[in-house]
Structure 1
Amino acid sequence: MFDYAHSENTQAYLEHIMAEEKHKIKDFYVLFISDYNIGKKNYSLFFDRHIMDESIVYVEQDEGSINAPSYIVDGDEYAKNEELFYKIRLQSRKRTIEKMAISINFYMVAHNTQESNAILNNDELLENSIEKTKVIIQNETFLGKEETWDNFYVWIRNQLKTLILEEMFLINGIRGIKELSGEELNVTFFELLRFNLSINKSFIRKFSNLVDLYLKEWQRRLINELNNNISAYLQIESVIEQSKTVAENNEAPQLKFISNYAYVLNNVAYHVVREAIYKQNFKIDKEVMWPKYSFVKGNTNGNIQIIPLINDRQDINSAYDNNQQSASNIAQQMSLMDVDVLDILCHLYLQLAKNTEDIVEIELRDILIMRGLRAKLGGDGRRGGFEAKQKEQVINSLKVIQSLWLTIDKTVMYKNNKPIQVEVQGRTFLFKNAMGEEYEVNEETCSKSFTFTVDKVFAKYLTSSKRQMALLPLKAMQYHAARFHLEKKLCRYLSWRWRTQAYKGDYQQLNRVNTLLDACGEEVNDRLPVRTRERLERALDKLAEDKIIADWYYVNWDENIAQGKGWLKYWLNTAIMIDPVHEVKEHYRSIERVKKPVKSITASNDMQTSYQAELVQRIHEVRISQNLTLTSVAEEIEISASYLNKIERGLVAGSPKIQKKILNWLERFD
């Protein structure tokens, strides 16, 4: 039987031995030398990382800090060069305070969700707030006291002593340690300490995690102390007013941070590339050198080919043979993940590049984080790194993107707001180093980070006077590619549709079922067509649940017809209304044409009395406050969702019988 009392005695004995041995270790200091400089950040991307990593209050553990050179200095040596070593410690202290100032400001932004978009789009404001926060942390909080840092350094030494002695006990046993002389103990201790801090990444990560927990406690204290001050620095109310003024004075949308959304190009060429990948429309033919997909969309026609980059060092003949086989493999293995990576590249390029000649650098982990993946847990239960397989999948998608060759035979673009015919060809994105030289995407060149830019085709659209960019929900990249493939495709199709409708401000255009299925590359299950219907409805419900769409419903659909023969043809030609969420409408409001006011129920005595107008307004207020969809309310009132939508928009008054039903429903919320 396990002797609990004996176990307690053993623990007490081990703690006693540990305390004894700690006292024998000579005084020492550990100095970490890092040239890391936070510099100017792309705050939208930085904030996204914090949100998606669930680490708003997080002192980011960059790999530079783990791999930074460390020096162990004994007490006597430190005393001889105290002024020099103290300066090094001050640099490390300054870096810690700076990272805390950033994370605390981000904490404030995250807790002002309605204003976060405006704040994150004002780099100057954020930088000023961070600078002021650094000053106040240094001058007015506990971190400005020397005693705080002295206690921190004592704690660090104690943690290192415990970790190293525990390891020594495991290697040599308690008896072996106790038999060592004081000098032998110190020699062994410092040898192991130097090894672990310079080479042993597992040890460094474990030690870093302990330090991180200590610093998080500092952050919690700082947030409590600085809450009101930081709110004042951010000047939240004035920022909102400023952003509204800017929006009102601009006809074209600006690239502003919108929480839970990414920006992507919305031209025909970009949309066709995405569609060709997930539909796998490339034709592989012996008579054609490269897999090819030809398209005609409106006034744009051309083709996309898969032509891998040919390495200059390869023999030209063997290169073509090998690359033709590689191109054939790519055409057959394309997947939705490739579209995810394409959209992420587009979003990050639009965020980071100042002009179309810019070469931007991003980390592989940025793509993995934006796809909603989590870093795997380390042995101590904390986040470690991403799996090698996850990184390999991203690199494979980058290879696919590098191989795409786009030819536009004819399209219309705009220069000085005048339409012109354009022919252009090139790749989608070019992978170039800082010297402007193209390189081949592989595990060696993209192991951690990579550099890229746009090629001629997308550059043409970006420099057009009517360049179009669309909001794409981050969920489009984060949904599981197999389980939610239809949801991912619908996100992209609706994103494209809403942006094309934004100019007219008309989001009430109907979508026929067969158009939606075709746009998503979905085929009807001929044997059990009801499964196709159920799958589409389940996907739309999922988008509504995740607040990607506000609501959806069939228009003029009779459920009785679905019970008889021939219902499939009727269903495929049925229209569906899909309403965008408020954030999308608000974002595109600045590019709407000024329209003549529609006759509303409040302005037309023929349509409605003032009493009826109040009734309709009450329906809308209750529905929004209770977070109810048009479909669910319509079912309770026993009318169709499309008819309720017309009532709520003031297009019809509704019969006295229906108005009575509405009143009875509203009474539940009084």
Structure 2
Amino acid sequence: AKFAEEYLDQKRVKEIAENTKPQTAEALAQWAALHVATNLCGVYAERTRKPFDDDEAFVRCMEQQKELVLDILAEIPDLYDTLHVTIWRHAIAWALEQMEDDHGSETLETLSADTFDDLLNEYIFDKQDFRDSAIHAMNLYAQDLARMILEAIDPARMPLDRLKALIGLGGPQTVDEKQELLDRMLAVPSGAPYFALQEIVATKGFHKEEETPWPVARINRRGARGAAQLRPAAMDEQPFMSPDEVEAWSKIMWRHREQMSALDVDVMDALAAIYLRETRGPNESAAADVDELLAMRGLKPKKGGSGTRGGYTPKQRREVMAALSRIQSIWLDMAEIDVIEETPEGGRRRSRKTVQSRPFVITDRMGQVRLDGYMDVEKFIFKPGAVFAHYLHGPGRQTALLNAKILELDPYREAWEKNIGRYLTSLWRIRARSGRYSDPLRVQTLLERTGYKLTPRRGMWIRERFEKALDVLTDHGIINGWQYDRWNEATTEQRGWFKEWLQATVLIEPPDEI
């Protein structure tokens, strides 16, 4: 399959995917709905110990599931490109294999480029049923979608009356399948500036530079070049401050830098997921509830009773608001980011722009005013700044699926797990086009995402902590499993083993949803 990619015209495949998107979505939704409806009705028959023979209910159930799948497909815009790449890659790989069997590699190497291309096309379109091959690949995708939905709603364990309603036998549906599924996987931006900023915040990557009093972090990645600064939001309205004001604010910004943690990144992801869920255009604002952010982190509100008030504690809410304040203190000065724009002819083109903005901007706050005159914020209205907005809606939209359980991990005790999990999320998004999700990863590459200093003196502890992090990610279903790919355990008995271990590689299997 890797060799077949050399013959794959990615641009042409992308055009085909774009032009056939409605037909592809319809076919995928129809097949996935059939698999889901068949399973639901089968589980219902098994649990009630009665044969299921209501054809009208089955059709209603299937139509219901089809609408659900179409909604889910709308949340995964790159699926069509990935599907078509997979179909063509496998078709080319099969053709190349058959050509080598029939003619031998030595004969093929003597052919001119035109003759080789003609022969390849003959094997792709004449000597295999390309239509059947494409249908088979699409059906496999549909089965994966169906399995993802069924795992999310778990019909074997849900109350029977809910299952009955889901099938359409007991009145209107009471189960929001899509919400249950999306509660497990959150859509977040996947643009280079977003992931770069997440790593900077998680590892406190801001540092001192002579020409500015503000903490600075340089961003130099493919598709994103610039800097992030910690500077007060007040400067947006009042850019010129007195030296005394600059000194006072500078101390606050450096304190923000020290207080940053994986919690701040959790809040960034939660804001992005809420915005993508609630809005349909780049100029819209979204509403977020402070308690909703706490719930997305997996925290449970206290139960009220005996004269005590239930809900989340003031301390928990203050921690979230403090993280929001630190996020609003970030200023992105991107000298160059890759953007995709619509052309007057209706097409798309890639260009580079210079953009400056905050990551997110809070425009309104609502809550209870305390006796001291300060407000306990309960809800707020926000929107992304110009840098992130491009990746959330419109032709430049780029999203990745983040396992919601990453937000539920402890931001202090399980920061390694969060940072590695987020890095894998961005990596899987990049690898989606090739489908090589499980290619080996260097140990050092993963450890660098934790922000921990890699010193040989603490080598054994670092190794144990690293392996524990991957085990925790496996236990939570964030990855399906892992193992060393290129590592000889006997090396640990030798002097300088830590340096060798950093160059070892691991294989990490993504979850089924990815």
Q: CA–CA distance in 1 between the matches of 2:325 and 2:476?
A: 32
Equivalent residue runs for 1:55-454 within 5 Å: 119=68, 228-229=164-165, 231-232=167-168, 257-285=181-209, 287-310=211-234, 316-317=241-242, 319-380=245-306, 384-415=310-341, 416-433=347-364, 444=374, 447-454=377-384
SS of the counterpart of 2:310?
coil
**Alpha-carbon distance change, 332 to 285 in structure 1, aligned in 2, over 3 angstroms:** farther
Deviations 1:291-321 (A, max 9, x none): 1111211242100011111186999536444
- 1:290 Cα offset (Å): 1.6
- Contact 2:280–2:393 (CA<8 Å) still a contact in 1? no
TM-score (norm 1): 0.48
Shift of 1:409: 0.8
The answer to which structure has the higher strand fraction is 2
Post-superposition Cα deviations, 1:60-113, rounded to whole Å, max 9, x if no partner, equal: xxxxxxxxxxxxxxxxxxxxxxxxxxxxxxxxxxxxxxxxxxxxxxxxxxxx9x
Aligned-pair identity in percent equals 28
Match of 2:483 in 1: 553
Question: Structure 1: which amino acid aligns with 2:361?
Answer: L
Paired with 1:120 and 1:384, the residues of 2 have a C-alpha distance of: 37
- Asked if 1:579 is matched to 2:505, the reply is no
Contact 1:117 1:257 in 2 (8 A): no
For 1:529, the equivalent position in structure 2 comes to: 459
3-state SS of 1:358 partner: coil
Letter in 2 for 1:351: R
Q: 8 Å contact 1:513–1:571 — kept in the other structure?
A: yes
Distance 2:181 2:511 in 1: 17
8 A contact 1:475–1:488 mirrored in 2: no
Cα separation, 1, equivalents of 2:255 and 2:449 = 24
C-alpha separation between the residues in 2 aligned to 1:224 and 1:421?
55
AA at the equivalent of 2:291? R
CA contact (8 A) 2:456 2:498 kept: no
Q: 1:549 to 1:225 in 2, by over 3 A?
A: closer
* 1:526–1:354 Cα change, 3 Å: same
Match of 2:389 among 440, 448, 459: 459
Secondary structure at the residue paired with 2:383? strand
Q: 1:427 and 1:446, CA in 2 relative to 1: closer, same or farther beyond 3 A?
A: farther
Give how far 1:484 is off.
1.0
Q: Pick one of 466, 470, 473 that aligns with 1:543.
A: 473
Identify the range of structure 1 (321-330 vs 567-576) with the bigger mean alpha-carbon deviation.
321-330
- The letter of the residue matching 1:303 is A
Amino acid in structure 1 at the alignment position of 2:413 = R
Question: What's the secondary structure of 2:234's corresponding residue?
Answer: coil
* Structure 2: distance between partners of 1:538 and 1:373: 23
- Higher mean C-alpha deviation, range 407-416 or range 543-552: 407-416
Structure 1: distance between partners of 2:393 and 2:291? 30
Gaps of 5+ in 1: 1-111, 124-222, 244-254, 435-442, 585-670
Q: Does the CA contact (< 8 Å) of 1:294 and 1:302 recur in 2?
A: yes
Cα offset, 1:459, TM superposition:
1.7
Preserved CA contact (<8 Å) 2:217 2:227: yes
Q: State the secondary structure of the residue aligned to 2:206.
A: coil
> Counterpart of 1:397 in structure 2: which amino acid?
A
Establish whether residue 488 from structure 1 lines up as the match of residue 424 from structure 2.
Answer: no
**C-alpha separation in 2, matches of 1:301 and 1:406:** 10
1:566 and 1:326 map into 2 onto residues whose CA distance is 42
Aligned-partner Cα distance in 2 for 1:541–1:446: 39
In structure 1, distance between residues paired with 2:351 and 2:489: 49
RMSD: 3.4
Q: For 1:334-365, what per-residue CA distance to the aligned partner results, in whole angstroms no more than 9, with x for missing partners?
A: 11111111111111011111211111111110
Tell me if the contact between 2:262 and 2:415 (Cα under 8 Å) persists in the aligned partners: yes
Q: What is the identity, as a one-letter code, of the residue corresponding to 1:355? A: G
What are structure 2's unaligned runs of at least 5 residues? 1-60, 73-158, 342-346, 366-372
Tell me the distance in 1 between the aligned counterparts of 2:406 and 2:496.
34
Cα distance, 1:511 vs structure 2: 0.7
Q: 1:224 to 1:342 in 2, by over 3 A?
A: closer
- CA change 1:381–1:371 in 2 (3 A) is farther
Shift of 1:118: 6.8
Q: How does 1:491-640 map to 2 (within 5 A)?
A: 491-584=421-514
TM-score normalised by length of structure 2? 0.62
- Look at both structures and tell me which one has the larger radius of gyration over its CA atoms: 1
Matched-pair contact (CA < 8 Å) for 1:525–1:531: no
Structure 1 counterpart of 2:450, one-letter code: C
- Runs of at least 4 residues off by over 4 Å: 115-123, 223-227, 233-236, 311-316, 380-383, 443-446
Preserved contact between residue 264 and residue 469 of structure 1 (Cα < 8 Å): yes
- State the SS of the aligned residue for 1:565: coil
- C-alpha contact 1:121 1:257 (8 A) present in aligned 2: no
Aligned residues: 351
Closer, same or farther: CA 286–566 of 1 in aligned 2, 3 Å: closer
Q: How far off is 1:414 after superposition?
A: 2.1
Aligned equivalents of 2:168, 2:475: Cα separation in 1: 36
